[in-house]
Structure 1
Amino acid sequence: MEGVTSADLEKRPADVSSMFDRVSGHYDLTNDVLSVGVTPYWRLKTRQEIDPHPGQKVLDVACGTGTVSRILADHGSTVTGLDFSQGMINQAIERHGDQPNITFQQGDATDLPFEDDTFDVTTVSFGIRNVQEPKKALAEMLRVTKPGGKILVCEFSHPTNGLVRWGYDTYMNVAMPAIVKLVSSDPEAYEYLFQSIQAWPEQREFAAWLREVGYENVAHRNLTYGIVALHRGTKPASNTPSQEIH
């Protein structure tokens, strides 16, 4: 897109925010098409893992257009949806502003504007890989989570089956670019998104990041043969300071 700076794997915050501002209007539709309709299944498993219920306070980081925030709020949780892109927040408010259990706001995942020990659950769906300093974001999520509370990260990962991996890589590199040209208003943005998925660490390495910043009981569950992984962890019950990430 001539004259517009595109995001790349350096993930400069201003570039990433601008990119998501541009694609916010058609973001959900494009993702549903590209995932061949599997996205609702991933959201279902995310909801089941979080187990939303009245009295539960949830922070949805990189909430995008608010789809996951709405699902959790509809099941009783009080949800704060936060995203770095004001365009995404505007879309979220337009679509879900009628849900009284949700508050949306613009903010930085690496410098969360909340007090320590505020939320029962912090979660991020398909957003942590777009943060320039993901470990710092994870440490911030730990800080604002109550002792004994949990984190849930739903993110693209790496297929564990060789045949599935070959088919997935072929789809990502051959079919997806062609589809994006038909359904997206900004193909260059999705070129970055494809690259960010392929460059993202595999399941065990990301689990090690969660342990490094201070989470306990870290585990993951593969979805769709590992194309997506659900990572979870628990903040220690004691108020031991988390490791600072630079």
Structure 2
Amino acid sequence: MAKADLDKQPDEVAAMFDEVAQKYDRTNSVLSMGNSFLWRLQTVRAIAPQPGERILDVAAGTGTSSAAIARHGADVVALDFSAGMIAEGRRRHPSIDFVEGDAMALPFKANEFDAATISFGLRNVKDPRKALKELYRVVKPGGRVVVCEFSKPPRALLRAGYGVYLKYVMPRVVGLSSSNPEAYSYLADSINDWPDQATLSQWLRGAGFTRVAYRNLTSGVVALHRGHKPARKPRAKPATKEAAPS
């Protein structure tokens, strides 16, 4: 069974997710103690999809979040680098447009989407800052990005308790509900290795996004980050010569 290392080679991470595709959503629901539904609800609210908008969902997995966005009338493109996840997503959500691709080299033109989002996937990208720059490239001026990702609880006691959960409780739960327990040991390692809310906010600003802000969910176990691509400034009209007074 595949377990990716924290150097996050794309082919290794994709192979790992291929193996867990069929039971992925069920296992995540169990591990999050039902909070995954609430996190998804808050993410969709932050995206604020509108009818007719074109929205990119990166690391879409089996398309659960993509389908939730599409229910608001938006045209959603679901991208993932795992062929197994894509196949399962197409089976579950045949009306969603699924694309296999790399978050670090998105197969789309510049300024193509009204909004872009990535939930619990940026952490699995080899170069997350490069992925954020790609999101900036494909979003239209004035568009928005929403990143939902595991984070660092700000309170030391909660942070310690969460560490105990990841190290001791989660492996036992995964052993009962997942087709690949080894993959979820990578999950725990990647969460521990992931930076805090302030660092991810800096990465978003470094990619070019403005009005960057985040909100903690479940006491900071997860953080919801938002940013906007600046709108193009209107072109200055050429100066006109004033008529000479008669």
TM-score by length of 2: 0.93
Letter in 2 for 1:60: D
The aligned residue for residue 65 of structure 1 is: 62
Larger Rg over CA atoms: 2
Q: Shift of residue 138 of structure 1?
A: 0.5
CA displacement, residues 144-187 of structure 1 (integer Å, 9 cap, x when unaligned): 00001000000000001222112211111110011111111111
> 2:78 aligned with 1:81, yes or no?
yes
> Which whole-Å CA distance do the structure 2 matches of 1:146 and 1:53 have between them?
15
Q: Equivalences for 1:127-206 in 2 at 5 Å?
A: 127-206=121-200
> 2:89 aligned with 1:92, yes or no?
yes
| Residue among 11, 14, 18 paired with 2:8 | 11
The aligned residue for residue 47 of structure 1 is: 44
> Which whole-Å CA distance do the structure 2 matches of 1:31 and 1:218 have between them?
28
Q: Shift of residue 208 of structure 1?
A: 0.3
> Which whole-Å CA distance do the structure 2 matches of 1:166 and 1:110 have between them?
33
> Which whole-Å CA distance do the structure 2 matches of 1:52 and 1:238 have between them?
21
Between the aligned residues of both structures, percent identity stands at 54
| Residue among 224, 233, 236 paired with 2:227 | 233
Please state whether the residue corresponding to 2:21 is helix, strand or coil: helix
Q: Which runs of 5+ in 2 are unaligned?
A: 234-246
Q: Shift of residue 238 of structure 1?
A: 2.4
The number of aligned residues is 233
CA displacement, residues 188-227 of structure 1 (integer Å, 9 cap, x when unaligned): 1001111001100000001000011111111100000000
Letter in 2 for 1:219: A
The aligned residue for residue 242 of structure 2 is: none
Please state whether the residue corresponding to 1:80 is helix, strand or coil: strand
Q: What RMSD over aligned residues (CA atoms) do the two structures have, in Å? A: 1.0
